[in-house]
A and B are shown apart, each in its own frame.
Chain A
Amino acid sequence: MTDANILLLAIAIPALTPFVVAALGNRPNLRDGASVLASFATFAAVLALLDAVIDGARPAVTLLEVMPGLVLRFEVEPLGMLFATVASGLWIATAIYSIGYMRGANEKNQTRFYICFAIAIAAALGIAFSGNLFTLFIFYEVLTVSTYPLVAHKETPEARKGARVYLAILMTTSILFLLVAVIWTWNIAGTMDFRAGGILEGKIDPAYVPFLLALFAFGISKAALMPFHRWLPAAMVAPTPVSALLHAVAVVKAGVFTMLKVGTYIFGVGFLGKTGAAEWLMWLAAASILIASIVALTKDDLKARLAYSTVSQLSYITLGVALASQMGVIGGSMHIVMHAMGKITLFMCAGAIYVAAHKTKISELDGLGRKMPITFICFAIASLSIIGLPPFGGAWSKWYLMLAAADAGQIVIIGVLMLSSLLNVAYLLPIPARAFFAPPRGQVAHSLGAAAAPVREGVEEAPLLCLIPICVTAIGCLVLFFAVGGLYEYLLSIQILPESMP
């Protein structure tokens, strides 16, 4: 099989899974099995592709010409490959986790859930492999639309409201800003291919560059850059597997990935650095990091706190783009991996807590660590990784981002990154700490009322299908710390400079 066919296969498997899932709608075991199988098959295809890309291949497929000059085209390059590997790899974890969660929480309409989930993954892979801005925009919108039913899944008034905010913000910004930016790029550059070194240099009046960059930065609101971040907390009404994979990995990472891609291959890092057009973006991202962290401190709802933490962490990656250097791009791309691994663990833990103990508020978690030790240990590990402490993966991406800031001479940015780590400590660590060390609330109450039933002791973890993926991703956080050498080598192969003219 040629690399190009594998590429198509990697997108086709999740794209065709919905049909299988729909056909097996009446047999839940087969249906969920099909989903898991598809996730493994997709990952296998992506890994095969990864091998080829590491060897220097750049497989490409042109599907069809939509309008004159506008082609649907896939082309793999290291950055997209990285995103595809993360998204498809974590799909396996979530696919298994969903079975435990959806059954444990007795959710309705599970068939629809799995259908939309697979479409969303297909769209994420489409974004990862897109060979030009046009293709990327198309899959970006597919991802928005296909995740709407997932956010609205519970069909309650809050779910409806959250989903409405979700759709409204993502659609508004993508149509009002991103599409205009795409068409503008097409109009001035006459091409939309992603090219090393960018396609805009020399074609656009430098005075317009910050403006075009703003259209992109705000148009790609999946990256949750403030002030267009409101959709992310709103989307937390979705079932937890959705929050875990989509709103910690696929959707938000699609956003920051697009940002990286636009910065590297449309503007070109060198061009951004030369014109200084990204400086405002750097400060906005820095502000976004701090403000979102502070907001996270005030949230008592566990998922809401994680959501704001995501907003803050995503801006790290935007910051990497805005620093406009190779180190920035490497730090940003690395943070895609590290944050994905950590945040998916945190979300899956939140879901496990909901399934096993029906708790959603942080203030209710006191003492729960004794009942759910594994979940909370994993939570602690992932928290440490997000904070950026060794020996967990998150340490490296922050390290490279700080290096990039130092290279750029932005001392203030280094300060921001350090302050943010402290804030991370403040909003993440109290959660496992309360769970393990605070006395359970019930006990206090019961010691007052002697007649009350005794508190049940012993371990009550979430279903095994929930627990296993959590452990795997938590261990992943640890493994990534030691595997960073290979990752760094790989990220160096992202072409930053334009190919030399023949």
Chain B
Amino acid sequence: MMALIETNLPALQVVLPLVAAPLCAMLGRGSRSWAFATIVSWLTFLIALSLFTKTFGGTIISYEMGGWAPPVGIEYRVDVLNAFVLMIVSGMAAIVLPYARRSVAAEIPAERQSFFYTAFLLCLTGLLGVTITGDAFNVFVFLEISSLSTYALVASGAWRNKRALTAAYNYLIMGTVGATFFVIGIGMLYMVTGTLNMADLAVRIAAHGDSSTVHMGFVFILIGIGLKLAMFPLHLWLPNAYSFAPSAVTAFLAATATKVAVYVMLRFMFTVFGFDYEFQAATLEMVVLPLAILAMFAASLVAIFQDDLKRMLAYSSVAQIGYILLGLTFLTDTGLTAAIIHLFNHAVTKGALFMVAGCYVLMAGTSSISSLRGVGRDMPWTTAAFVVAGFSLIGLPLTVGFVSKWYLVLAALELGWWPVALLIMASSLLAIIYVWRVVETAYLQSAPEGTVRKEAPLSMLIPTWVLVAMSIWFGINAMTTSAAASRAADMLIGSSQILWED
């Protein structure tokens, strides 16, 4: 039995939440479906953990779905990079779900909660599937599963604020456009190569050589994924979706959805198109690099002027994605390491911050910064969590944010890109402004008359502080994460040479 489970772990990783989702819908009212979903998320996390420990040493697990051999059948392929992302996604789900109970209970009517958790599990399924699969078309399928359930999740914020519906609709349109671009791109690659397996695609694209169809395929995929990961200026769906979605959803999506999209980008760029693909290198340097820097500044500047905490954090996410993309465009080992490690670091940090915002929404009834005056006294633990996670967002030492920034600047300096290194630092100064605005309001201003606010319940505080503690722990002891990230980077760089073996 154990052996059977062990050999089928890659399949279980996706199948478990997928099968659990409809069961969850059948469980009826709130708390039962919540408990079920939570247990499923924990199991999924265990699976991801064991996959990660197996691949950390450099092994690549190749799993043939239904026994059909690739490239005809669908292959699940786990290496250190996607095992790392799987761990982030399932880990965040396992932390967000315990947090979600009180928050969801307050934001969504009881009879709809089981559907909410169903959508949540489906979203998890989709994100895990995108990450684990080694089949290009399969990526699209899972991307749609996660996107469709995300639209539903965002729209379920409508019980708190009706604008969630427009936000979800907006996201739906943009997301669909993105998915269409993506699938067209894959179609073009299929036209050229006649295969959909990523490893196989890599070999055949290399053999086929450069052509304008491959160029078009690359550009379509870049734009499609760019929409999904909110690459500036394709980010317009994100602020609304994040600010109006239920708090737990925002925390989960902010930490995972864009990260998975970044993973897809990494995978397509470096595994499928290859590290030394010239057209790609040129596009990255001429197009993506300026956009990434623009995102770092424009989005941070906009964040400074937001009054809604969730919206401010959402814009900060756009800026942080800029960092990740920047690391990618360096096309060096250190740059990729920076991008990959920031996937994790930003997930932890932003997850914690959105959870804090959720605590404010529940206990203070608002996420508007100006009405959070003096909240530091009424909700000391929540606000302290914000301060610490805020430090990480700024990138102060002893937090994970510092580790990311370190690698990023190091990568820029290795290339001798002076101005870029200074720009990275300058943009993190903008983070100080928007984080400190909140800190000042929370601690140094007196509460508005007649407000009654109590500390958030433990079921929400503990998950929040788990993430905060992680953002400190992995900032002080970054050996594991940096080893994983640098191995993943090595693998991506080397993978244009690693061919698919049968």
Minimum CB distance partner of B478 in chain A: A67
| Interface flags, A325-367, vs B, CB<8A=1, else 0 | 0000000000000000000000000000000000000000000
Please measure, in the bound complex, the distance between the C-alpha atom of A187 and the C-alpha atom of B421, giving whole angstroms: 13
With A137-B397, A175-B429 in contact, do A180 and B477 touch (Cβ < 8 Å)?
Answer: no
What residues of chain B lie closer than 8 Å to A138, measured between beta carbons? 397-398
Q: Which residues of A contact B391 (CB under 8 A)?
A: 145
Query: Are B479 and A179 within 8 A (Cβ)?
Result: no
Interface contacts (Cβ under 8 Å), in number, total: 73
User: Are A67 and B403 within 8 A (Cβ)?
Assistant: yes
B341 nearest in chain A by CB position: A67
State whether A186 touches B410 (Cβ < 8 A): yes
Q: Which residues of B contact A186 (CB under 8 A)?
A: 410
Q: Min CB distance, B272 to chain A, in Å?
A: 29
CA distance A184 to B311 in the complex (A): 35
Q: Which residues of A contact B394 (CB under 8 A)?
A: 171, 175
The interface stretch among A160-168, A257-265, A282-290, A482-490 is A160-168
Contact with A along B421-432 (1 / 0, CB 8 A): 110011011001
Contact B479 A183 (CB under 8 A): no
Does A142 lie at the interface of the complex (its beta carbon under 8 Å from any beta carbon of B)? yes
Which of B397, B413, B428, B486 is A183 in contact with, Cβ under 8 Å?
A: B413
A186 and B421 alpha carbons, distance in the complex (Å):
14
In this complex, what residue of B is CB-closest to A140?
A: B397
Please measure, in the bound complex, the distance between the C-alpha atom of A167 and the C-alpha atom of B436, giving whole angstroms: 10
User: In the complex, what residue of chain A is closest to B439 when comparing beta carbons?
Assistant: A148
Q: Does A275 contact B (CB under 8 A)?
A: no
Interface size class, chain A = 20 to 34
Q: What's the least CB distance linking A23 to chain B, in Å?
A: 16
Q: Known contacts A152-B444, A168-B432, A176-B429: does B397 contact A187 (CB below 8 Å)? A: no
Q: Does A279 contact B (CB under 8 A)?
A: no
Asked if A66 meets B422 with Cβ closer than 8 Å, knowing A183-B406, A183-B413, the reply is no
User: Smallest CB–CB gap between A61 and chain B, Å?
Assistant: 16
Q: Closest B-chain residue to A72, C-beta based?
A: B476
| Pairwise interchain contact B425-A66, C-beta atoms closer than 8 A | no
State which of B413, B436, B486 has its C-beta within 8 Å of the C-beta of A184.
B413
Q: Are B410 and A179 touching (Cβ within 8 A)? A: no
**A68 touching B479 by the CB < 8 A rule?**
yes
Known contacts: A160-B440, A168-B432, A179-B409. The answer to whether A68 contacts B397 by CB under 8 A is: no
Interchain CB contact under 8 A, B477 and A64: yes
Asked if A298 is at the interface of the complex by the 8 Å CB criterion, the answer is no
Q: Is the CB of B398 within 8 A of A183?
A: no
A175–B483 contact, CB under 8 A?
Answer: no
- Tell me how far the C-beta of A449 lies from the nearest C-beta in chain B, rounded to whole angstroms: 41
A68:B483 contact, CB within 8 angstroms: yes
What is the chain B residue whose CB lies nearest that of A177?
A: B425
Please judge, given known A-B contacts A164-B440, A183-B409, whether A172 and B429 are in contact too, CB under 8 Å. yes
The CA-CA distance from A180 to B423 in the complex, in Å, is: 11
Nearest B residue to A179, CB-CB: B425
Q: Which chain B positions have C-beta within 8 A of A64?
A: 476-477
| Known contacts A175-B395, A180-B421, A184-B413: A67-B429 contact under CB 8 Å | no
Taking the complex as formed, is B396 at the interface, i.e. its CB lies under 8 A from any CB of chain A? yes
Q: A67 contacts which chain B residues (CB < 8 A)?
A: 403, 406, 478-479, 482
Q: Does A301 contact B (CB under 8 A)?
A: no
A172 to B395, CA, bound (A): 12
Is B414 interfacial (CB-CB < 8 Å)? yes
Q: Please count how many residues in chain B sit with their CB below 8 Å of the partner chain's CB atoms.
A: 31
Distance, CA A171 to CA B429, complexed state (A): 8
Bitwise interface map of A from 163 to 204 toward B, beta carbon under 8 Å scored 1, else 0: 010011001100110011001101100000000000000000
Q: How far is the CA of A65 from the CA of B478 in the complex (A)?
A: 8
Chain B residues 362-392 with CB under 8 Å of chain A are: 391
- Known contacts being A155-B444, A167-B436, is A180 close to B425, with CB within 8 Å? yes
Q: Mark A49-85, 1 if CB is under 8 A from B, else 0.
A: 0000000000000001111101010000000000000
Neighbouring B residues of A68 by C-beta, 8 Å:
479, 482-483, 486
Q: Which of B398, B425, B486 contacts A142 (CB 8 A)?
A: B398
- Which of B405, B413, B444 sits near A187, CB closer than 8 Å? B413
Contact with A along B481-502 (1 / 0, CB 8 A): 0110010000000000000000
B-contacting residues, A372-406, CB 8 Å: none
Alpha-carbon separation in the docked complex, A141 to B475 (Å): 14
Look across to chain A and name the residue whose beta carbon is closest to the beta carbon of B429.
A172
Residues of chain A lying within 8 A (CB to CB) of residue B482: 67-68
In the complex formed, the residue of B with least CB distance to A188 is B413
From A152, A155, A180, B422 is in contact (CB under 8 Å) with A180
Q: A67-B478, A152-B444, A184-B413 are in contact. Are A145 and B396 (CB under 8 A)?
A: yes
Q: Using Cβ atoms and an 8 Å threshold, which residues of chain B touch A141?
A: 396-397
Interchain CB contact under 8 A, B444 and A160: yes
Q: Which residues of A contact B410 (CB under 8 A)?
A: 183, 186-187
From residue A458, how far is it (CB to closest CB) to chain B in Å?
Answer: 41
Contact with A along B231-251 (1 / 0, CB 8 A): 000000000000000000000
B413–A176 touching, CB < 8 Å: no
Note all chain B residues with C-beta closer than 8 A to A172. Answer: 429, 432
**Residue numbers in B under 8 Å from A152 (CB-CB):** 444
Q: Are B426 and A176 in contact (CB under 8 A)?
A: yes
Does the CB pair A66–B477 fall under 8 Å? yes
Complex alpha-carbon distance, A168 and B432, angstroms: 8
Shortest distance from the beta carbon of B123 to any chain A beta carbon, whole Å: 33
Instruction: Report 23 cross-chain contacts, Cβ distance below 8 Å, ordered by A residue.
Output: A65-B479, A66-B477, A66-B478, A66-B479, A67-B403, A68-B482, A137-B397, A155-B444, A159-B444, A160-B444, A167-B432, A168-B432, A171-B394, A171-B429, A172-B432, A176-B422, A179-B405, A179-B409, A183-B410, A183-B413, A186-B410, A187-B413, A187-B414
For the complex of A and B, 7 pairs with smallest distance between CB atoms: A138-B397, A176-B425, A67-B478, A183-B409, A187-B413, A141-B397, A160-B444
**Sample of 10 further A-B pairs with CB below 8 A, known A68-B479, A164-B440:** A64-B477, A66-B475, A66-B476, A66-B477, A72-B476, A142-B397, A142-B398, A171-B432, A172-B432, A179-B405
